[in-house]
């Protein structure tokens, strides 16, 4: 069978989006926003070029849900009007090509660069005070454990970011629950050492991700929501010894 005859080029319905093929642009961190985390005008051309085949799905570079979810330079955000307006120019360009675009929603947690956190006025936080073994910055910082109240605030950040993405014209969102970032820092026991409702058991370690997903789905519709997971990835201090029970519970919870 030739590549042209494979299912790769057959239509596929994803949620309420009708794709004309199954080649999807994965999220690619680009560091091309301005210092206020607003996408630069050239970003319009970047995504429009990749949407040139009608019926294509693009997933944006990971985008901060809030300032406190950040910690790397020149990464776009989706928490204020200027950011929303800049993203609207991008979604309009993609839709003009008759293609579709989802936004990946991101919070860094303990992998934030310490100097950037200080400059932008927020703490480096995580599920537990467990520092990253091989940080991107030479400065090793022990993150502050999030309180339950702060966890609820982050859930609210994801929900509001999803609403803002809809205002900006996106067709859906992907929740970044992978790669050793904040959500993954709750899901995996290599980082999560809590003994409250957000840690200590498979069910409790899954709670943050599932509450984020349910909140976002309730806000914008489950058919517009995807979740990225990385059960076997060891990047940024992840890689629990027995991921199958943990992620089976997560996937079952997401199906509910």
Residues labelled catalytic: 181
- In 143-184, at which residue ranges do the beta strands (DSSP E only) sit? 144-145, 172-176
As a dihedral over the C-alpha atoms of residue 160, residue 37, residue 51, residue 18, rounded to 10 degrees, the angle is -10
User: What does the DSSP 8-state code read for residue 225?
Assistant: E
* Helix (H) / strand (E) containing 25: strand 24-25
Coil vs helix vs strand at 39: strand
230 close to 184: Cβ distance less than 8 angstroms? yes
Q: Determine the 3-state secondary structure of 24 from DSSP.
A: strand
Alpha-carbon span 142 to 136, nearest angstrom: 14
DSSP assignment, residue 194?
-
Q: At what angle do helices 42-50 and 81-96 cross, to 10 degrees?
A: 30
């Amino acid at each position: 069978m030739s590549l042209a005859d494979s299912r790769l080029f057959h239509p596929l319905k994803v949620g309420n989006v009708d794709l004309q093929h199954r080649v999807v642009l994965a999220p690619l961190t680009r560091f091309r926003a301005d210092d206020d985390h607003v996408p630069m005008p050239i970003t319009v051309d970047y995504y429009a070029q990749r949407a040139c085949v009608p019926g294509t799905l693009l997933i944006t570079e990971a985008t901060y849900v809030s300032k406190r979810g950040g910690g790397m330079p020149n990464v776009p955000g989706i928490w204020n009007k200027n950011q929303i307006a800049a993203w609207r120019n991008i979604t309009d360009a993609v839709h003009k090509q008759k293609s579709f675009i989802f936004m990946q929603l991101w919070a860094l947690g303990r992998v934030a660069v310490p100097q950037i956190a200080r400059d932008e006025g927020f703490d480096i936080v995580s599920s537990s005070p467990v520092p990253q073994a091989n940080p991107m910055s030479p400065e090793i910082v022990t993150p502050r454990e999030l309180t339950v109240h702060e966890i609820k605030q982050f859930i609210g950040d994801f929900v509001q970011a999803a609403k803002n993405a809809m205002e900006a014209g996106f067709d859906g969102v992907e929740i970044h629950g992978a790669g050793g970032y904040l959500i993954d820092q709750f899901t995996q026991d290599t980082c999560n050492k809590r003994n409250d409702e957000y840690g200590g058991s498979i069910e409790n370690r899954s709670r943050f991700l599932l509450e984020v997903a349910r909140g976002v789905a309730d806000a914008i519709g489950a058919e517009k929501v995807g979740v990225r997971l990385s059960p076997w990835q060891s990047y940024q201090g992840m890689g629990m010894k027995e991921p199958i029970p943990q992620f089976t519970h997560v996937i079952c919870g997401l199906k509910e």
